[in-house]
Chains A and B, each alone.
Chain A
Amino acid sequence: MTRYIRILIGALMFMLCASSCTVSVPERSSSVNKMPNIYPDYTDIIVPINIAPLNFHIEEKGEEYLLKATLPSGRESVFKANSNGDVVFGLKEWREMLKDAEGGEIVYELYARQGSRWNRYNSFHQTVSSDSIDRYITYRLIEPLYTAIGNMGIYQYDLETAEQTTILDYRMKTLNRDMKHTYCMNCHTTQKSNPNNRLFYIRGTRSGMVLTYNGEVRLVNPKCGDMPFSTGYSAWHPTLPLIAGISEKVRQSFTTNDPTKIYQFDLFGDLVLYDVEKNEVTNIVRTKDKLEGLMCWSPDGQYLYFSSSDSAHASPTNLNKLRYDIKRVKFDANTKSFSEPEMVICASEKDSSVASPKITPDGRFLMYRKAKYGMYMQTNKTADIYVMNLETKQHYPLDSINSPQPENFHDFSSTGRWILFESKKEDANYGKVYFSYFDSNGVAHKPFALPHEYPQYDRELLKCYNTTEFTTVPNKLTADEYHAILERDTMSHPTFASKIDSSYLDGASGASVVRIQK
C-alpha cells in the first residue's frame, strides 16, 4: 500500500514540476508579417488594471502555439495555447502581469508551429490603464427575437474573475414546484451613490418593481392615481431615495421580411417619480400629445434628461417615422418639483431620433443613441452611439465603437473612464458586451469584448446580452431568496401625490381611459 502511495506522490510531483517548467519561444522562426487573427480581438487595446484574464482563441493555422508577453520592465513570460488553440492565463499570473505593466504596455508575440516550421506574427499590445473598471456588470440574457420569455434571466458578472452568478433566472421556476407564477424580467439598475439600492422589474402574473432599499426587499406596483400604465424603465436619483420611471405601454411588432425583425415602441409614455421612503408617486412630465421615455439623472441630481417624441401615437404603420429628441427638466429637491422641459438635443428636425441619455460622473459628456427612428434601438441597424460635449455643445459619433449593426445599452463606470455597450456587430443578431476606454477628452478607444475563461463562450452562446449596466458591489440576495420573496410577499401599492387629471379617468369606475390607436 505504502508503495502505491509513494508512486502516486511521485507522479503528482512530476506532474507539478512538468507543469511549472518554463516554456520558451523557438530560437528560429520566420516572420509572416501580419497581425494574428485572435478571437475575441484583444489586439492593441487599453485594458483596466483589474480586468479578468483576457483569454483568447487563436484563429491561425498551426499545430502548436506559443505566446510571448513582454512587460515594460523587460520581464518575459511565455504561454502555451491548449489543444483547442486557446490561450488561457492563470488568474494569479495575469494579475501579476497587469500590476507590473500598470501605466505601460504588454507586448505580445505569437508563434505558430506548422510541421517543423515556426511562424512569428506581428506583435500586438495591450496598454494597462491604472484606472480600474467597476467590478461588476449586470445584464439580462434573452433570445434575440424576444418572442418568448424562455430561459430569460438577469445575471451579474464579476469582471475581475470572469464569473457569472444568477440574480434571477426563469429556469429556476421549472425546478421549483412551489412557484405558481411566471415572470418576464428586465431593467436591472442600481443607485450610483449606494449601489446596494437596486431594482428590477418583473412582468407576468405578478407585475411590478422588485426594489432593494437599505437591505430590505419590497415588491411595488407603482401604478396608482390616474396613471394609465405601470412604470417600466427607471433611473435612480444619484443620492436621494427617488426613482424616475416611465409610465408606459410598450408593444412589439414582428416583421415578415424586414431585417429589423422587431419594432419595439411605446403606445404611451409619461414620466413619474417614485419616492421610496414615502411610498409615493408624483408626476414629472405628463403630456397627452407626446411620448416621454428613457431617462437619466445628471450626476449632481439637479437635472433629469429624457427622450421625448412629439408623435402622440405610434402604430405599426408609422414606426419608422417615430422621432425622439432629448430634453431635460430641472429638479428642485426641496419641493420635489420639476421645471418645464427644455430641449437639449433636437434630432427630429434632422430626421433622426436620439434616446437613452447617460452622463459622465464629471458631468462633462452626455452619451446617447442615435438612429433614423424610434427609441428602442436593439434591432435598429442604424443605431449608433454618440457623445455630446456639454461644455462645448459639440456632438460626434464614437466611430471606434460603432459598426453597421446596432449598438445599444451603453453605460459609464463610476469613474467615467470606462464605457460598456452592447453590439451586434459580430453576427447582427446575438448582442455581446464590449468595453472601451473613454479618455478625458471624450474619445472612446478600441473596444474589447467581455472576457471569459473559455474565450469562445459568447461566440457559442445562443442568447443576447441586454440592458447591461455597471455596478460596484455584488448583488446580495440569491436567486432562491428572490424567488421566495416573489412568491410570498404582497405587492405594495404607493399613494399618488400629484393632482389627478380627471380627463385620464373613467368617471364611473375611476379606471383609466386612454384611447390608443391600434
Chain B
Amino acid sequence: MVLSFNIKMQRLKDKNTIILALVWTLLAVIYWGVYQQDILYSIHSGSFYTEAVPFVERVVQEDGWAMLVARYFTQFFIAPLSASIVVAVVLCLCSLGLGLLLNIRQKDMVWAFVPSSLILLIPSVAGYNIHIPIRDLLVMPTLGYVCVLLFVALYNRVFGENKVSDIIEARGFAGMAGVASYPIVGYLLIWFIGIYGVVAMLTLTAVLWKKNDSSRVTILVLSLVPIILSHFFVFDTRYFLSPFDHYIYTGIFVAELLASLSPMAIALVKSYADLGERWESLKWRNWIGLAVVSLTVFLCTERNSGFRGECRLFRDMMNLDFDALVKDANEIEEPNWACFSFRLIGLEQKGQIENRLFDYNCYRGEYISNSKFYYPWLYLYAGQPLISLSYAMDYHLMKEENYGNMQVMVIDYVMIGEKEAAEKLLNQLDDNIVYRDWADNVRKHYGTIADFCKHNPPYGKAIRGAFSNNIVVAQMPFEEFLYANYAATETNIRRRILCSLFMKNIEDFKMLMNMYGRSFGPVLPVAHQEAICLLAAQGDESLLTKFPVSKNIGERVNNILKCVKQKEGYKEIREKFGDSYLTYYFFAVKPERKEEE
C-alpha cells in the first residue's frame, strides 16, 4: 500500500501537473479576487457569524457544523483578494487529491479540476439569490468538497486493497452491532455536511464500483444502505429533503448539483483511454481542457451589468465612499432599480440630488421594486430610522442574520437615542473579529446623537430636517426617500417637488411650484426649468410666466421635443441630451406603486 501511495504521489510531482495546478489557481484568484470581488463582498455582508447562543441553536440543525465553519470563513470575504487566494488554494489541493484518489493520469489531470471549477461558479450563478443567505455560497461547497474527499480517502485507506471480502467483513461487523449503528455513518455525514454527505457516499460508491468488477451490486447496495437507512432510522421524514432546500434557486441548483456529482461522474469513467484514439493522441489535452473549463466558467458567470453594478455600489455604500458610489453608478451600462437607489443615496450625500437625479441611463430601469433587501439602507439615509429599523428587523429575521442589517440596526438605534439596544447588537458584533473595530468605533461616539453625527457625517446628514410623529405606511422607498413624509421643512418641500418630477406628475409639480416655488430663489434647478418648459409645450404657460427659465434651456427643450416628434430613439436622444429631465420623462419606465410582496 505504501509503495502504491508513493507511485501516486509521484504523479502529482509531475512538472505538467504542477504547472496546471498553478495556472488554475492563478485563474481562480483572478476570477474571484479581481473580476468577482464585489460579489464576494456581497456574500460576506449577507452572512453572519457569531458565537452567541442563539447561533448554537442553528448548529444543532442539519448542516449546522458545516454552516458554522463556513460562516466563520465567509466573514473574511470582506477582503475579497485574500479570501480568493485561500479558496483557490484549497480547491486546487482538493483537485489534486481527487486526481490522486481516482488514479487520474498526468495527461488527463484537468478532469480533476472540473469539480473545483464548477464550485467557483456557484456563487456567481446564484445571482440575486446572494441576498438570501440560505447557504454560505462558495465556502460551503468548498467545505463539502473537502469533507467528501477526506471521507473517500479515509475509506480508501482502510479498504485500500479493494477486497470485497474485507468490505463485507467490516460491514458485517458493523451490522452485528445493530442495524442502527451502521446508518450513523450516513447520519453523521448528512447531518453535519448536508448534501455533501450524500455526495461522499455516492462518490465512494463510484470509486468502489470502478475498482471491483465482480461485486458491483454488493458494493452499490452496501454503500447506499447508510444513506437510505439513516433517513429512516435517524431522520424525521420532514428533514429528508432539507439538504436540497437551496435548490429551489435555479442557478445554484445547476451549478452545485453538477459540482457535487462531477467527482462521481469522473470516477465512473472506467478509463480515459476508452474515450478513443483521437483523445489519446491529443498532446495538449490538459491545456485544451483547462481552456474549455475556463471559458465555460466565464460564459456561465452572471454578467448582468445591473446586478454586478449593484454589488459594487453596495460595497461603496458600506464603505461610506459616496464619491466612488456616484462615479460607479454612472458607469453602469444597464443600471437596475437598486443601482438607482444607491445613486440616490450618493447624490443626497454629495448635495447633488436636484441637479443630477435625472442625468442617468434610465431607459431600461425597472426602478420601483418590491424587494425589501435595500429598504433598511434607503430609509436610514432618508432620515427615517424607525422605518429602517423595522425593515432591517424584518429582513434580519426572515432571511437570517447578516452584518449589513446588524450595522443598520445599530445606527438606527443610535439615531433614535436607544443606545442600550444598540449595545445589545454591538455585543454580538464584538464576537466577530472583522466587525469588532467597527463596533468599538461606534461606541466611542454614541453618547449623544449630536456627537455621533459629528463624527459620522453620512449618518448625521441622514437626519435632516425636523422629525414629526406622522404615521407612515411605508411601501415605496424611492418616493419616500425623495419626499420624506414629515415636517414641512424647506428641504422636505424641495424633495416633494423633486418627487413629483420623479413620478412624472406634472400637475402635482405645477401645484407645488405655485405654492413653494419661491423657496428656490432666483435660479431654479435645471430639471425644474425643463419641466416648466414641458408644461408650456403642453399648453400651460402659467409657470413660465411666473418663474425665470434660461434661454439656453428653452432652446434645448425645443430641440429635444423636435427629436421626440421625429421619433428618434432613446439611444440617439440619450447621446445628445442624456442629462435632461425630458429624456427621463419620455423614456424611463414610469414609477408605479406596487403591492407588497
Interface flags, B478-502, vs A, CB<8A=1, else 0? 0000000110000000000000000
Residues of chain B from 449 to 471 with CB closer than 8 A to chain A in the complex:
467-471
Contact: A256 with B468, CB < 8 Å? yes
Chain A CB within 8 A of B572 CB = no
Q: Which residue from B238, B242, B386, B394 sits with its C-beta under 8 Å from A257?
A: B386
Shortest CB distance A68–B (Å)? 28
Contact: B420 with A150, CB < 8 Å? no
Interface flags, A246-283, vs B, CB<8A=1, else 0? 00000001111111010100000000000000000000
Complex Cα distance, B417 from A459, in Å, reads 19
Chain A CB within 8 A of B387 CB = yes
Shortest CB distance A381–B (Å)? 11
Q: Which residue from A253, A428, A457 sits with its C-beta under 8 Å from B421?
A: A428
Residues of chain B from 393 to 451 with CB closer than 8 A to chain A in the complex:
393-394, 396-398, 401, 413, 416-418, 420-421, 423-425, 427-428
Shortest CB distance A318–B (Å)? 12
Complex Cα distance, B242 from A310, in Å, reads 53
Shortest CB distance A403–B (Å)? 12
A259-B418, A316-B471 as given contacts; A148 in contact with B397, CB under 8 Å: yes
Contact: B417 with A259, CB < 8 Å? yes
Complex Cα distance, B51 from A456, in Å, reads 12
Q: Which residue from B394, B420, B485 sits with its C-beta under 8 Å from A148?
A: B394
A256-B485, A457-B53 as given contacts; A151 in contact with B397, CB under 8 Å: yes
Interface flags, B501-534, vs A, CB<8A=1, else 0? 0000000000000000000000000000000000
Shortest CB distance B1–A (Å)? 22
Q: Which residue from A256, A261, A426 sits with its C-beta under 8 Å from B384?
A: A256
What are the residues of chain A within 8 A of B474 when measuring CB–CB?
254
Complex Cα distance, B470 from A150, in Å, reads 26
Question: B420, B427, B428, B472 — which one has the most chain A CB atoms within 10 A of its CB?
Answer: B420
A145-B389, A261-B386 as given contacts; A460 in contact with B396, CB under 8 Å: no
Q: Which residue from A151, A175, A258, A428 sits with its C-beta under 8 Å from B239?
A: A175
* CB closest chain-B residue, reference A425: B420
A175-B242, A428-B421 as given contacts; A256 in contact with B469, CB under 8 Å: yes
Shortest CB distance B60–A (Å)? 13
Chain B CB within 8 A of A334 CB = no
Question: A148, A253, A430, A480 — which one has the most chain B CB atoms within 10 A of its CB?
Answer: A148
What are the residues of chain A within 8 A of B54 when measuring CB–CB?
460-462
Complex Cα distance, B57 from A461, in Å, reads 11
Question: B385, B390, B416, B467 — which one has the most chain A CB atoms within 10 A of its CB?
Answer: B390
Question: B245, B391, B469 — which one has the most chain A CB atoms within 10 A of its CB?
Answer: B469
Complex Cα distance, B389 from A147, in Å, reads 10
What are the residues of chain B within 8 A of A257 when measuring CB–CB?
384-386, 416, 467-469, 486
Question: A263, A316, A460 — which one has the most chain B CB atoms within 10 A of its CB?
Answer: A460
Q: Which residue from A254, A256, A454, A459 sits with its C-beta under 8 Å from B486?
A: A256
What are the residues of chain B within 8 A of A460 when measuring CB–CB?
52-54, 424, 427-428
Q: Which residue from A150, A176, A254, A426 sits with its C-beta under 8 Å from B398?
A: A150
What are the residues of chain B within 8 A of A461 when measuring CB–CB?
53-54
Complex Cα distance, B526 from A91, in Å, reads 74
Complex Cα distance, B343 from A59, in Å, reads 45
Chain B CB within 8 A of A96 CB = no
* CB closest chain-A residue, reference B406: A462
Contact: B468 with A454, CB < 8 Å? no
Complex Cα distance, B427 from A426, in Å, reads 14
What are the residues of chain A within 8 A of B389 when measuring CB–CB?
145
Contact: B424 with A430, CB < 8 Å? yes
What are the residues of chain A within 8 A of B176 when measuring CB–CB?
none
Residues of chain A from 141 to 187 with CB closer than 8 A to chain B in the complex:
143-145, 147-148, 150-151, 174-177
Shortest CB distance B158–A (Å)? 17
Chain B CB within 8 A of A429 CB = yes
What are the residues of chain B within 8 A of A259 when measuring CB–CB?
416-418
What are the residues of chain B within 8 A of A340 when measuring CB–CB?
none
A176-B238, A427-B418 as given contacts; A254 in contact with B428, CB under 8 Å: no
Contact: B420 with A147, CB < 8 Å? no
Interface flags, A221-259, vs B, CB<8A=1, else 0? 000000000000000000000000000000001111111
Contact: A254 with B387, CB < 8 Å? yes
Shortest CB distance A103–B (Å)? 34
Chain A interface residue count: which class?
A: 20 to 34
Interface flags, A392-416, vs B, CB<8A=1, else 0? 0000000000000000000000000
Complex Cα distance, B384 from A256, in Å, reads 6
Shortest CB distance B450–A (Å)? 16
* CB closest chain-B residue, reference A258: B469
Shortest CB distance A411–B (Å)? 26
Contact: B386 with A255, CB < 8 Å? yes
A456-B53, A460-B54 as given contacts; A429 in contact with B418, CB under 8 Å: yes
Shortest CB distance B414–A (Å)? 13
Chain A CB within 8 A of B241 CB = yes
Shortest CB distance B516–A (Å)? 21
Contact: B386 with A254, CB < 8 Å? yes
Question: B389, B417, B427, B474 — which one has the most chain A CB atoms within 10 A of its CB?
Answer: B389
Complex Cα distance, B417 from A148, in Å, reads 24
Contact: A256 with B238, CB < 8 Å? no
Contact: A427 with B394, CB < 8 Å? no
Complex Cα distance, B471 from A144, in Å, reads 18
Complex Cα distance, B423 from A201, in Å, reads 34
Complex Cα distance, B419 from A429, in Å, reads 11
Contact: B398 with A148, CB < 8 Å? yes
Contact: B396 with A462, CB < 8 Å? yes
Complex Cα distance, B470 from A255, in Å, reads 6
Q: Which residue from A143, A175, A256, A454 sits with its C-beta under 8 Å from B470?
A: A256
Shortest CB distance B397–A (Å)? 4
Shortest CB distance A87–B (Å)? 16
* CB closest chain-B residue, reference A150: B397
Interface flags, B528-558, vs A, CB<8A=1, else 0? 0000000000000000000000000000000
Complex Cα distance, B473 from A309, in Å, reads 26
Residues of chain B from 368 to 388 with CB closer than 8 A to chain A in the complex:
384-387
* CB closest chain-B residue, reference A456: B53
Interface flags, B240-271, vs A, CB<8A=1, else 0? 01100100000000000000000000000000
Shortest CB distance B318–A (Å)? 21
What are the residues of chain B within 8 A of A316 when measuring CB–CB?
471
User: B: which residues have CB within 8 A of A?
Assistant: 52-54, 236, 238-239, 241-242, 245, 384-387, 389-391, 393-394, 396-398, 401, 413, 416-418, 420-421, 423-425, 427-428, 467-474, 485-486
9 contacts between A and B (CB under 8 A): A143-B396, A147-B394, A174-B245, A255-B472, A258-B469, A429-B424, A456-B53, A460-B427, A462-B401
| Interface contacts beyond A143-B396, A427-B424: sample of 20 additional A-B pairs, CB < 8 Å, sorted by A | A147-B391, A147-B394, A150-B398, A175-B238, A254-B471, A254-B472, A254-B474, A255-B472, A256-B467, A258-B386, A259-B417, A263-B471, A426-B420, A428-B418, A428-B421, A429-B413, A430-B424, A456-B53, A459-B427, A480-B236
List the 10 closest pairs (A to B, CB-CB), nearest first.
A257-B467, A150-B397, A427-B420, A460-B52, A148-B394, A427-B421, A258-B469, A429-B421, A316-B471, A253-B471
